[in-house]
């Protein structure tokens, strides 16, 4: 990628665009643990500019296993729980709740209801929260939030969570339907999710993901170095960053692509939930570990194409990959397996391929995109920042939703 020095203008939230200057109390029930740089992180950090936020980390979707990943997550949760509610940035407080995760534990649901109610009530009292605006990112929170006196309840749907492996799909579908009807409003990041929820709640809005433009557009600056670990690898360099798990990534597709193009470098960056030996037979597939979010532009700068090699399942059909506008802002053309949100939202930036042969062909075509084409589209991502998304979300909440049920 040609380097150039550009001044990247900062962007901050306007506190009075469509909303009043009154600071909100915001209760944020996440489907992720704090720290994962997902849409929940992006939204919560920006909502903290609008008022006091209590971010409640995920209570999990399924019973834990004896895997090193699950055991590590349990240990991190216990450490964070012991620390209590902590302020991680101005106006943003994190609570890691303690619950019984084992499905067959006697009276698990009743005990969890009591201890969660206690933990949330104590945290709200500590922060002097009253009648908060409530965001809920997973339907399995439903049994534990009904007691809360809230201003409005927002169900924010980013995935078809009943499609994740290892959970009780029928229970999640039932919770989802009830949550959709309980909420005062729903925001959906994919059109397929919007179509489904609109039939259950008329106050449903389509809200695609935003992008941390300043972070990823920094790739274009001379002051951003290319990742040294990638520069050692032969070009072209084909990059995927994100959660590397069988729920999302099509390992067989990647292996076949690597075999078709043995002189290309296929690079994976992110949290890895697959076996360490998954790709060891392919010398041109390189796993470079989990990296800091702010360092991802360095990896994009060393790459030639950004890819979404997702498996084709109901989960991925209903997703809206956050990394697509991030790739585009960083100047990377995108090649993806068939995902409606990718082709609908980014037709100029993405090529779609269902087979390894087509995937490689689309990558070859993507390599022909000019510097000017990529830079023009990168600049257009300024129109899709998280700050602009938050303004739209709060505008809908303030102006288009009924009073609390």
- Each domain of the chain, given as residue ranges in start order, spans 24-210+385-400, 213-383
| From 109-118, 304-313, 394-403, the region with the lowest mean pLDDT | 109-118
Contact (CB, 8 A) for 144 and 113: yes
Are 24-210+385-400 and 213-383 in the same CATH fold? yes
Q: Which of 225, 222, 230, 186 is nearest to 205 (CA)?
A: 186
H helices of 84-232, in order, are 108-126, 142-145, 169-182, 191-198, 213-217, 228-231
Q: 24-210+385-400 belongs to which homologous superfamily?
A: Glycogen Phosphorylase B; (3.40.50.2000)
- pLDDT tens digits for range 33-66: 998 899 999 999 999 999 999 999 988 645 555 5
Domain at 213-383: CATH code: 3.40.50.2000
pLDDT of residue 387: 97
Share of the chain above pLDDT 70, in %: 86
Residue of 321, 332, 213 lying closest to 270 (CA atoms) = 321
pLDDT bracket for residue 202 (50, 70, 90):
very high
Model confidence band, residue 114 (pLDDT cutoffs 50, 70, 90): confident
Does the pLDDT of residue 2 top 50, yes or no? no
């Amino acid at each position: 990628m040609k380097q150039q020095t550009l001044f990247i203008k900062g962007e901050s939230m306007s506190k009075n665009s469509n909303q009043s200057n009154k600071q909100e109390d915001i209760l944020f029930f996440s489907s992720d643990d704090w720290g994962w740089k997902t849409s929940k992180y992006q939204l919560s950090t920006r909502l903290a500019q609008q008022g006091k936020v209590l971010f409640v980390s995920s209570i999990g979707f399924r019973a834990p296993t004896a895997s090193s990943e699950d055991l590590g997550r349990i240990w991190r949760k216990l450490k964070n729980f012991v620390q209590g509610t902590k302020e991680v940035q101005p106006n943003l407080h994190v609570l890691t709740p303690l619950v019984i995760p084992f499905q067959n534990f006697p009276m698990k649901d009743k005990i969890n209801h009591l201890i969660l109610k206690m933990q949330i009530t104590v945290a709200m009292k500590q922060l002097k929260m009253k009648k908060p605006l409530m965001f809920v990112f997973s339907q399995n929170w439903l049994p534990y939030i009904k007691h809360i006196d809230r201003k409005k309840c927002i169900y924010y749907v980013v995935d078809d969570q009943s499609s994740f492996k290892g959970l009780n799909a029928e229970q999640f579908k039932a919770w989802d339907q009830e949550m959709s009807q309980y909420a005062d409003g729903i925001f959906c990041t994919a059109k397929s999710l919007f179509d489904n929820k609109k039939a259950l709640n008329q106050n449903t809005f389509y809200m695609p993901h935003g992008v941390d433009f300043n972070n990823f557009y920094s790739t274009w600056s001379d002051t951003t170095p290319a990742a040294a670990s990638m520069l050692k690898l032969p070009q072209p360099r084909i990059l995927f960053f994100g959660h590397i798990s069988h729920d999302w990534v099509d390992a067989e597709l990647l292996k076949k692509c690597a075999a078709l193009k043995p002189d290309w470098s296929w690079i994976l960056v992110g949290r890895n939930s697959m076996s360490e030996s998954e790709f060891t037979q392919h010398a041109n597939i390189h796993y470079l570990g989990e990296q800091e979010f702010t360092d991802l532009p360095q990896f994009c700068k060393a790459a030639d194409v950004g890819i979404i090699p997702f498996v084709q399942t109901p989960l991925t059909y209903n997703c809206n990959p956050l990394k697509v506008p991030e790739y585009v802002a960083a100047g990377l053309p995108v090649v993806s397996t068939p995902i409606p949100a990718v082709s609908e939202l980014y037709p100029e930036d993405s090529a779609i391929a269902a087979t390894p042969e087509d995937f490689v062909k689309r990558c070859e075509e993507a390599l022909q995109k000019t510097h000017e084409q990529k830079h023009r589209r990168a600049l257009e991502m300024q129109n899709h920042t998280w700050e602009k998304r938050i303004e739209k979300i709060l505008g809908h909440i303030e102006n288009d939703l009924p009073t609390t049920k």
